[in-house]
């Protein structure tokens, strides 16, 4: 009865070689089918980008444990789309992404390739969740967050998620998490974003850097707050980006 086992599609944005991808697979329960379809190369900061006007290739890799593994020459969203079209034998029960090497809290959800893949799963009507560790290193230690991920995944398999809502989970680094809090994303923005250089011919070029500014440093109901308290933050993210509340107000201004 292999068709009745839950099928979990796993991806990330750090590439199929990333340790975080394997650690997420390690968190999966017994008695599920796992297919990992991840970018052949790192694609951080790719948001919901799709490959337009260029071909994609799929490469089957050796299994990792009981997970079937595939590399795709595209973005995280490409991975989900082509997995759904050409790889999975049936509609997955979950789309999971991560564990990302680095934070996707606050406004970073907008730029995140991890969360781009999760939004794609949600758009396709599948319960979807992204996991990120607040540590960029390839050698980051994921172990302290993994029992929490395992427990969340079991609940996601059992209960799913409300329609049109996916989850952005961030995990504090280098500590035993004190617990889990479902909360909202802190409002914020990036500043001091570029380092300026001169090339050998004296022509300038710029390199992205910068620091995140939390616009709500005193709020106690945001992901930034709970992460600072060493909790895992879980932010429900809307797949539909419409801001419904101001429609009537703006209709008075613009309708004609």
For a second copy, the binding residues in 137-166 under the rule CB under 8 A are 152, 155, 159, 161-162, 164-165
- Among 201, 193, 143, 138, which Cα is nearest to 24's? 143
Residues 188-207 that bind a second copy (CB under 8 A): 189-190, 193-194, 196-197, 203-207
Query: Whole-angstrom Cα distance, residue 191 to residue 185?
Result: 18
Under rule CB under 8 A, residue 41 binds a second copy: no
Under rule CB under 8 A, residue 83 binds a second copy: no
Give me the helix-helix angle, 146-159 and 19-26, nearest 10°.
60
Under rule CB under 8 A, residue 44 binds a second copy: yes
Q: 10 Å Cβ neighbour count for 48?
A: 17
Under rule CB under 8 A, residue 64 binds a second copy: no
Under rule CB under 8 A, residue 134 binds a second copy: no
Residues pairing with 8 in the sheet: 34, 94
Identified binder of a second copy from the candidate list 6, 17, 19, 45, rule CB under 8 A? 45
Under rule CB under 8 A, residue 244 binds a second copy: yes
Under rule CB under 8 A, residue 251 binds a second copy: yes
**Residue 95 near residue 138, CB atoms below 8 Å:** no
Q: How far is the CB of 20 from a second copy (least distance, A)?
A: 16
Residues pairing with 194 in the sheet: 208
Identified binder of a second copy from the candidate list 17, 123, 228, 229, rule CB under 8 A? 123
- Angle at alpha carbon of residue 216, lines to 116 and 134, rounded to 5°: 45
Under rule CB under 8 A, residue 241 binds a second copy: yes
In the complex with a second copy, the residue whose CB is nearer, 21 or 186, is: 186
Cis peptide before 99 (omega within 30 of 0): yes
Under rule CB under 8 A, residue 170 binds a second copy: no
From the list 21-29, 92-100, 118-126, 131-139, the region that binds a second copy by CB under 8 A is 118-126
**Residue 98 near residue 114, CB atoms below 8 Å:** yes
């Amino acid at each position: 009865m292999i068709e009745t086992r839950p099928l979990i599609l796993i991806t990330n944005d750090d590439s199929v070689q990333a340790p975080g991808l394997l650690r997420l697979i390690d968190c999966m329960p017994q008695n599920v089918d796992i297919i990992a379809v991840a970018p052949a190369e790192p694609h951080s900061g790719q948001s919901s980008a799709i490959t337009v006007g260029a071909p994609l290739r799929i490469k089957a890799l050796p299994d990792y444990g009981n997970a079937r593994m595939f590399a795709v020459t595209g973005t995280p969203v490409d991975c989900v789309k082509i997995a759904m079209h050409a790889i999975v034998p049936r509609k997955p029960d979950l789309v999971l992404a991560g564990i990302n090497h680095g934070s996707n809290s606050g406004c970073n959800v907008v730029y995140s390739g991890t969360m781009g893949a999760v939004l794609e799963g949600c758009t396709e009507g599948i319960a979807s969740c992204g996991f990120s560790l607040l540590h960029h290193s390839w050698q980051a230690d994921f172990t302290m967050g993994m029992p929490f991920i395992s427990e969340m995944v079991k609940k996601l398999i059992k209960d799913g998620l409300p329609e049109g809502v996916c989850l952005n989970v961030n995990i504090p680094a280098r500590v035993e998490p004190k617990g889990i809090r479902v909360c909202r994303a802190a409002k914020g923005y990036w500043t001091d974003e570029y380092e300026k250089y001169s090339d050998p011919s004296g022509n300038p070029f710029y390199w992205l850097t910068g620091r995140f500014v939390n616009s709500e440093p005193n709020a106690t109901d945001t992901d930034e707050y709970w992460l600072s308290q060493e909790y895992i933050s879980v932010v429900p993210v809307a797949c539909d980006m419409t801001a419904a509340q101001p429609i009537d107000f703006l209709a008075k201004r613009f309708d004609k």
